[in-house]
Every structure is written in C-alpha cells, then in structure tokens.
C-alpha cells in the first residue's frame, strides 16, 4: 500500500477560502508567498529577484510585516506583486493549476496514475481553512482520502468554547480524521505563547477526548517558549514544547508534518542532521511520528532521485524507526519538480542500499495506514 501522508485539495483562490472575509485570506496568502522559499523573478526579463518588496522580516510575522505591493494570485500556479512599476513573480504551484486551485478529482486522478492508494488532505492558512470543503472532498472519495480539520489557532485562547465546538463538529459531524495545528499562526496574530500554554489547554483537553491524531506544523521558533537568532536553538525550543505537550497527553498520536529542518542543514552533496537536532526530537515517545517531504522542500535543489537525501533518511530510520516515518509530497506543489510517481520511486527504487524492503514499505504507506486504522496495515 502507498499512502501519501500530505496532500492538498485547494478551493478556487478567487473566493474567501473558508475565512470570514476575503481580505483576511489575502493577508495570509500574501505572507505565505512572501516567506515561501521558492525563487522570485522579475516578469519583464526573468532576472532573479527576492521577496523584499512583499514584506519586511524585521516587522514581525503576518500582517504587520506586509508591504503594499498589489499582491495577487495570477493563475497558472503563479503569484505576482508590483513595486515601482515592476512586476515580480513566484511559481509556487505547478503551471497546470490554472486558477491556483486543486480539486479532489484532480488529486485522485494523479493518485491513480502514480499508483498511490490513499491520501491525507492537509491544511494551510494560505490554501484554505474551511472544514466543509475538505469534508466534501473526503465524502466524494471515501475509499481514497482522509482529511484533517483546522481550527483558527489565533482564536483558541480568546474563543475557547467556539474553538472546541468547531473541532467537535469537524470530527463528529463532518467526519474528518484528525487536527492540523499550524503553530506559526499564533505569532502571526501577535500572540507569543507556546502552544502548550495555559490558555490553550481547554481546547487541547477537548481534542484529546476526541481520540484523534494531531498533525503539528512548525518552523524553527514557531512554537517555542523563547526564541533566539539561531534556527537550531529555536528548533530545540519547539521540540521542548512538543515534548511537554506529549507528556501531558500520553494517549494522543502526533505527526510532525514537514519532518526535520532539512533545508537548514542541506549541503551540495548531502542532507544530514546535527546531533543536537536528533537529540532534541522526542523519539523516545512511541506516539511521535514524523513526515518525510523531500520533494517539495528539496526538489528544486536536488535532481531526481535526490541521492543527497539518503544520509538523513537512514539517520531518521535508525534513530526514530521506519515504523514512525511517513512519506508525503505536498501535492500539487511537488509537481513543480518531479512527477508524482517519481516522488515515491525516489525511495522505493533508489534507497534499497540504506533501507530494507520492510522499512521502505512502512515509510511509503504502512506507517500512515496503521495510524489511520486501515485494515491489514
């Protein structure tokens, strides 16, 4: 069985995308594209550019950092902005995403073509937060798709009852299968508390009572009780938050969605985590699971089949265990670089020298299938 643990279905981005008003969505989209690591270029001549016209990183996260630049989705997977009469571009989705959306039908067609059996629909503040949209995608393909719920992290402390009601509705009424927690959204709204702080606990207690897995999305420092100028130190602090959270909720399965900070420690010939990273992750907790999203994060730097990723894959398999590693792609965004089939064949065909066949089978589907209770996994 092949189970892609990280897929997307995206509404037409000309709408509200699950927000109360379109302007709020556009602020999230603007910031998300500003900090996205994909390269920018000048539309007039293709000259390399940067995101400095979109935001000021010294002004914080989210809305306060945004600059007025006529930012807009331009279709065909592109996002554009204008500074001093010049238009700049980032290609974040593949050009086949004509209206920068991605339907369940498109996703399942790609899955069929690449022999992928199951997909878990993830959430992103700039790809739509409406639970009803994801639930409808799952209802249309109940034997191919699972879906994660989302609750606005920035409202959990100020609106605990409404937040609890929303996650209960998403799971009990809409049939979604877990929660995605986008830790960076807390700081984007000016809140500095780590996600296990007192104000979040009534919500987390309710989530634990639902018996669902929680998929945590963090970037270095996004869920830290304190931050520094060091990506490594910030990652370690994030892991301290996660460790405390898991100790408080010992029955909840956890998946860290984008793996370890691969881009922070990539070199020309290899990716390998420093010992401080491996020591920080709560790999001693059996409820800790971690995704591997090599193609989306590294596919623009490493050509297929990306042999540079083998050292860190082996490192994770030995320290964490293949039974807690979960392959994912970020489709459709991974299609910028590799075909969907290449995304899993980079492991199944080319990593037999560092992994056993049983380990490959676990990473490419067995671990996720078991988490989701699929019979025979």
- Spatial CA neighbour of 213 closest among 278, 173, 257, 243: 257
- Spatial CA neighbour of 365 closest among 29, 111, 173, 188: 111
pLDDT in tens, the chain (377 residues): 999 999 999 998 888 999 989 999 999 999 999 999 999 999 999 999 999 999 999 888 888 999 999 999 999 999 999 999 999 999 999 998 888 889 999 999 999 999 999 999 999 998 988 999 999 999 999 999 999 999 999 999 999 999 999 999 999 999 999 999 999 999 889 898 999 999 999 999 999 999 999 999 998 888 888 888 898 999 999 999 999 999 999 999 999 999 999 999 999 999 999 999 999 999 999 999 999 999 989 999 999 999 999 999 999 999 999 999 999 999 999 999 999 999 999 999 999 999 999 999 999 999 999 999 997 65
Taking CA atoms, 23 is separated from 72, 116, 205, in Å, by 12, 36, 32
Quote the pTM value: 0.95
CB 314 within 8 A of CB 277: no
Unique residue bearing structure tokens 């100020």: 158
Domains within the chain, CATH numbers bracketed: 3-11+101-371 (3.20.20.140), 22-91 (no CATH)
């Amino acid at each position: 069985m092949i189970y892609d643990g990280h897929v997307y279905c995206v509404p037409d981005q000309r709408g509200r995308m699950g927000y109360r008003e379109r302007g709020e969505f556009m602020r999230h989209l603007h910031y998300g594209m500003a900090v996205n690591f994909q390269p920018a270029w000048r539309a007039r001549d293709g000259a390399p550019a940067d995101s400095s016209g979109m935001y000021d990183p010294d002004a914080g996260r989210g809305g306060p950092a945004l600059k007025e630049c006529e930012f807009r989705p331009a279709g065909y997977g592109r996002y554009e902005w204008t500074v001093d009469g010049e238009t700049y571009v980032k290609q974040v989705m593949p050009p086949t995403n004509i209206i920068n959306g991605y339907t369940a039908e498109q996703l399942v067609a790609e899955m069929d073509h690449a022999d992928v059996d199951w997909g878990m629909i993830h959430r992103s503040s700039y790809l739509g937060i409406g639970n009803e949209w994801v639930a409808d995608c799952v209802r249309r393909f109940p034997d191919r798709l699972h879906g994660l719920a989302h609750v606005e992290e920035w409202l959990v402390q100020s609106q605990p009852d409404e937040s609890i009601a929303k996650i209960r509705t998403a799971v009990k009424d809409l049939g979604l299968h877990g929660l995605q927690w986008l830790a960076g959204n807390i700081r984007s709204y000016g809140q500095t508390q780590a996600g296990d702080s007192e104000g979040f606990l009534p919500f987390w207690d309710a989530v634990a009572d639902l018996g669902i897995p929680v998929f945590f999305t963090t970037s270095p420092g996004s869920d830290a009780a304190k931050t520094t100028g060091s990506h490594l130190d910030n990652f370690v602090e994030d892991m301290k938050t996660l460790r405390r959270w898991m100790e408080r909720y010992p029955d909840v399965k956890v998946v860290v969605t984008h793996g370890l900070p691969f881009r922070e420690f990539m070199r020309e010939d290899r990716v390998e985590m420093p010992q401080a990273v491996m020591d920080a992750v709560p790999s001693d907790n059996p409820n800790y699971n971690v995704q591997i999203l090599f193609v989306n994060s590294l596919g623009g730097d490493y050509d297929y089949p990306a042999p540079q990723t083998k050292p860190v894959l082996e490192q994770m398999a030995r320290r964490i265990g293949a039974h807690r590693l979960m392959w994912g792609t970020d489709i459709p965004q991974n299609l910028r670089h590799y075909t969907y089939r290449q995304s899993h064949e980079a492991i199944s065909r080319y990593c037999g020298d560092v992994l056993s066949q049983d380990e490959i089978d676990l990473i490419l589907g067995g671990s996720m299938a078991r988490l989701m209770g699929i019979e025979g996994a």
